[in-house]
Structure 1
């Protein structure tokens, strides 16, 4: 699943292409954020750590959380803490980000500190921020100066530190493969390991209440349970008991409120822990709760960060019968986008079509959404028509003379399904599973399949230039002669570094992106005998490319 979209610019000089890192890219705005990892609440607002930064929601009515504002950060936020008018983000590769939330409608970054590794979680106590990193352990920052936090202490933690809970003079750290690590922080400038509780398997989360640490645990076979560990002697923590529910697939997070422990995974479990040695199940809910990353209890509601499932609100006024009360839904996987005039059309794999007014790029506005019963894969427009590829239902045409109310015009079932689309003149060129299809769309109400060609593998990208179609398939670039639309013919299959995803053609060059090969430039001046002339190893796993002027934009 794609969690972060990485965009880079590539400069291509006409003639023999020269490739350099693009300059001058500036973030303007974004929509359709997904990936909720943590949540904190102050007053009537929920502050959510999204993969893309901070999102503020109005929860005055918990059954209907509504968007208020956002603050973009690119590190990959996974933890959040609130103190007064400030939010502290554990922001992955960017370390700690400090955001002024005194005006919830306009959060502003005021300071930060770049920690080593990836910052995965954060806890605040007094003038100190306790930050854990995936590979370097605990970093302690003096935050008395919010603009310039200062590193004053650190402690190496074995394993992968994923969660922290500060209680008194100790920090309790869930360190995945290294179990529970207990750190003495009585002297913040010289933290030290006081004790640990080792396990075979993985500790995902920790919460401390009284003399007990509650651990979300998975054994080496990924069977989950809650471990309750007595920590009255920090140097020698001892297992008190464990709780397992084989109907509960996974436990990723745990929070304790009073005499109850709330376990989150693929659902929510509520345990009575008034007798820690004998926890008992009180209530549970399974539907619409996957996968829980963090839980926060406020009054009669549990607020659950569910990653790509958004923020879920569960009514826990009756602990024996928790019910889903509301949610702030987010897209699961945005696959493609297409901009035409003042409108952007985005396809989400599971939630369908989203249409935005982007006349002001700094404040894009969602104006319509169409759900589809099956998986949508691609979108493009031409004139007053919108064309959608659906992997199960084939090819769809909508009238978008009013983009706020798209109207279905036609549907053409394709046995191959539809993965990607390219429109050229009166024809739609559609890649499917094992087929390249040519559709006559001169009459948008009655599209007609006029030709097709069997291709190996799945066509993931397509571009038309002159009498040729350039098709990206997993191991190669296919060049197809389409001078006779009824009888397309393979001109060449040109192997490239694996995972070919998309292609664009400009002049005599085809620009191809692949997971493993980055950007590859192919001379197609002779379409029957192409040649590779240069490559550029892009960061991440590129899956799309667009050409504009002298630049290639790779995502």
Structure 2
């Protein structure tokens, strides 16, 4: 009996010691949490962040904006590509291995950059109204502005010839001496004789050819400081592009490539022409005796060694491009494409079959995200699919980037090991096998004329390999939505099994629970019953508080709605034919402008609302009739559409929550990862409770055991 009492007494003492240690540690930790509960910071120079009850863990943003121009420089150790961006400065890539381009640096102290030429360690760049920028790019990781030469502005095009820059303005030519890149000076200006301003230039044998839409003006630049007028060629056709090979002038005009004999410049004559309706040529370049005609759909190569016998050598055709620039250098062609980023094509000895060997995506914005386990799938509108390792949410790592059919993915949904993507541009549903996230395999792609996708209002839910897809068509501000049900059971033979059209509304979002489909539209919430043959029967509608519903999430018998002209609406749908209002919160700070809720997600009674005026709002929804605010996250970034000193509220296109981590698809700000700091006790899952209990208690048990043993030894002594 005494031994039992001693054992009980010892156990009580041990528990008391552990609890004292645990309480003292937890109390200090709680104080730290309270101090960090609200903060305002600039996590990046361009961002303003305000958060309450949560904190930003990381940002994944590989999207820099549309590329405008490229220059490739061979050095002793590497090959460097300089890429100007429409809204985000200048990128530096090591493309020694074209299939694995490495980002070396990013110069951000400018936007709206256009043309770039590099001479030795100096880059000369135009863009906007600031004239000519000269950067020291000797170290790509630390590019520095040398001078902003503003004696000329609005430069449409320029070319470097020796120590001089010849640049174009509207009906004007200027000459800049760059013998000392640190001190360029305006050497001369020249008023052009031709009526319409030129848009491109070529230099051959000390002659400067100024290419306008209706003619070509030729200047003699034997004296580089003082160009002299020679003549003007008018070919009687619209000129898209021009180049020369010996005494042959090559001109493109829409789908035609013309070859003129200019042996006698004043008496030129047409040799031949070539037409290909697949390629509306907008640029040509001559290398040796080969002519490359570039279009938005690829390029064609001609051999013009014998101008009287022009031979088509090869071609490279692809779909849905939008070419900005083309550069031929050595064995490679570098294409700057607004849709596809930087495309690197190997051409070998110019006659080899062209092979696409590299693609660097710079544009796009995060439109949707889906998370499963330690992998996040981010659908980038225009930028393909990013598959990320998020095992450590504070440091997401790219597993791979997948892009096919231009990769204008607006929606991603994962079921089992199949990822379903809605491709806005090609109007297809693409199905990928992502059993191995590092090597996604496309199983099939469904094109159907029911898929309109003319607006980025495309959403999709997949249940038991049946995809429910909504899209909206706009024609002069008249909206027509449609809903398609697609059987994807056999990926090799996917087909539309039912569809509804003629919705006179924008279809924003949907959710499917058991045998009911919930549809968020600009005319309110529609609830359909799904019959056994996938016929749909409308059973009820809801638009009492708001009709502009852009987000819907269903949890058992409760429907959560994001209303753009109101905020958050919560309905009880125990009886789907009679939805009952349970609770609501008005978040719209600008009544009448529809700046309220946009998207909603619910996990363990915590409601996450993406709001158009307040960012991310977080509520405890244990009592749906009285949601309690418990956190918020607000972020402003510099807009890619305005001057670099103008910030805009980041718009969250999609929300996905996994455990206590929130993933926000945030347009041009990429994927934002946010942690909810202080959660109500009920929010924690059993798994979290066990993990937290073990990780917080075990250390105290060990320390308590040591203290207890020491105390017992001393007592015996």
- Same-fold call, TM cutoff 0.5: yes
**Partner Cα distance (1:59, 1:73) in 2:** 23
Q: Is the 8 A contact 1:345 1:356 kept in 2?
A: yes
Match 2:218 to one of 162, 182, 187: 182
The 5 Å alignment of 1:382-421 reads 411-412=462-463, 413-417=467-471
Q: Is the 8 A contact 2:367 2:409 kept in 1?
A: no
Taking CA–CA contacts closer than 8 Å with sequence separation of 6 or more, which of the two structures ends up with the larger relative contact order?
Answer: 2
Secondary structure at the residue paired with 1:416?
A: strand
**Partner Cα distance (2:160, 2:522) in 1:** 57
Q: Gaps spanning 5+ residues in structure 2: where?
A: 1-43, 48-59, 414-418, 441-460, 474-502, 525-546, 553-558, 596-611, 614-638, 653-665, 669-717
Q: Is the 8 A contact 2:370 2:412 kept in 1?
A: no
1:272 aligned onto 2:323: no
Q: Is the 8 A contact 1:183 1:194 kept in 2?
A: yes
Match 1:131 to one of 145, 163, 167: 167
Secondary structure at the residue paired with 1:178?
A: coil
**Partner Cα distance (2:175, 2:370) in 1:** 46
**Pair 1:122–1:469, CA change in 2 (3 A):** same
Question: Hey, what does 1:161 align to over in structure 2?
Answer: 198
Secondary structure at the residue paired with 1:172?
A: strand
Match 1:261 to one of 291, 302, 307: 291
Instruction: Report the structure, 1 or 2, having the larger strand content.
Output: 1
**Partner Cα distance (1:488, 1:99) in 2:** 67
Deviations 1:283-302 (A, max 9, x none): 22224794554443434333
1:249 aligned onto 2:282: no
**Pair 1:240–1:388, CA change in 2 (3 A):** closer
Secondary structure at the residue paired with 1:124?
A: strand
Q: Is the 8 A contact 1:390 1:418 kept in 2?
A: no
**Pair 1:103–1:169, CA change in 2 (3 A):** same
Q: Gaps spanning 5+ residues in structure 1: where?
A: 1-24, 381-385, 420-430, 441-445, 472-476, 492-503, 514-519, 522-537
Deviations 1:258-306 (A, max 9, x none): 2222222222222222233442222222247945544434343333334
**Partner Cα distance (2:258, 2:80) in 1:** 27
Aligned-residue CA RMSD (Å)? 5.6
**Partner Cα distance (2:404, 2:566) in 1:** 30
Question: Hey, what does 2:240 align to over in structure 1?
Answer: 204
Question: Hey, what does 2:315 align to over in structure 1?
Answer: 284
**Partner Cα distance (1:117, 1:196) in 2:** 26
Structure with bigger gyration radius:
2
Match 1:452 to one of 516, 519, 541: 519
Q: Is the 8 A contact 2:298 2:316 kept in 1?
A: yes
Secondary structure at the residue paired with 2:312?
A: strand
Deviations 1:451-493 (A, max 9, x none): 3355479x999479x997434xxxxx6999664565799x9xx
Aligned-residue offset at 1:322: 2.0
Q: Is the 8 A contact 2:522 2:550 kept in 1?
A: no
**Partner Cα distance (1:182, 1:72) in 2:** 38
**Partner Cα distance (2:300, 2:508) in 1:** 49
Q: Is the 8 A contact 2:101 2:360 kept in 1?
A: no
Q: Is the 8 A contact 1:35 1:307 kept in 2?
A: yes
Deviations 1:309-341 (A, max 9, x none): 23333333354442215122326643647899x
- More displaced, 366-375 or 140-149? 366-375
**Partner Cα distance (2:589, 2:332) in 1:** 59
Aligned-residue offset at 1:357: 9.4
**Partner Cα distance (1:345, 1:113) in 2:** 44
Match 1:377 to one of 410, 417, 430: 410
**Pair 1:65–1:211, CA change in 2 (3 A):** farther
**Partner Cα distance (1:321, 1:462) in 2:** 52
**Pair 1:61–1:540, CA change in 2 (3 A):** closer
1:51 aligned onto 2:85: yes
Q: Is the 8 A contact 2:115 2:127 kept in 1?
A: yes
The 5 Å alignment of 1:60-139 reads 60-62=96-98, 64-72=100-108, 74-114=110-150, 118-133=154-169, 135-139=170-174
Match 1:142 to one of 159, 177, 191: 177
Deviations 1:417-459 (A, max 9, x none): 499xxxxxxxxxxx9974354538xxxxx788563355479x9
- More displaced, 317-326 or 267-276? 317-326
**Pair 1:435–1:163, CA change in 2 (3 A):** same
**Partner Cα distance (1:213, 1:328) in 2:** 33
Q: Is the 8 A contact 2:92 2:104 kept in 1?
A: yes
Aligned-residue offset at 1:131: 1.9
Secondary structure at the residue paired with 2:240?
A: strand
**Partner Cα distance (1:115, 1:246) in 2:** 43
Q: Is the 8 A contact 2:566 2:588 kept in 1?
A: no
Question: Hey, what does 1:39 align to over in structure 2?
Answer: 71
Q: Is the 8 A contact 1:50 1:77 kept in 2?
A: yes
Question: Hey, what does 1:525 align to over in structure 2?
Answer: none
Match 2:563 to one of 466, 470, 479: 470
**Partner Cα distance (1:90, 1:345) in 2:** 37
Deviations 1:348-383 (A, max 9, x none): 23554436799xxxx996455466888532689xxx
Aligned-residue offset at 1:125: 1.8
Aligned-residue offset at 1:124: 0.9
Instruction: Report the structure, 1 or 2, having the larger helix content.
Output: 2
**Partner Cα distance (2:106, 2:267) in 1:** 41
Secondary structure at the residue paired with 1:203?
A: coil
Secondary structure at the residue paired with 2:124?
A: strand
Question: Hey, what does 1:439 align to over in structure 2?
Answer: 511
**Pair 1:545–1:49, CA change in 2 (3 A):** same
Q: TM-score, normalised by structure 2?
A: 0.50
Aligned-residue offset at 1:100: 2.1
Match 2:333 to one of 290, 302, 305: 302
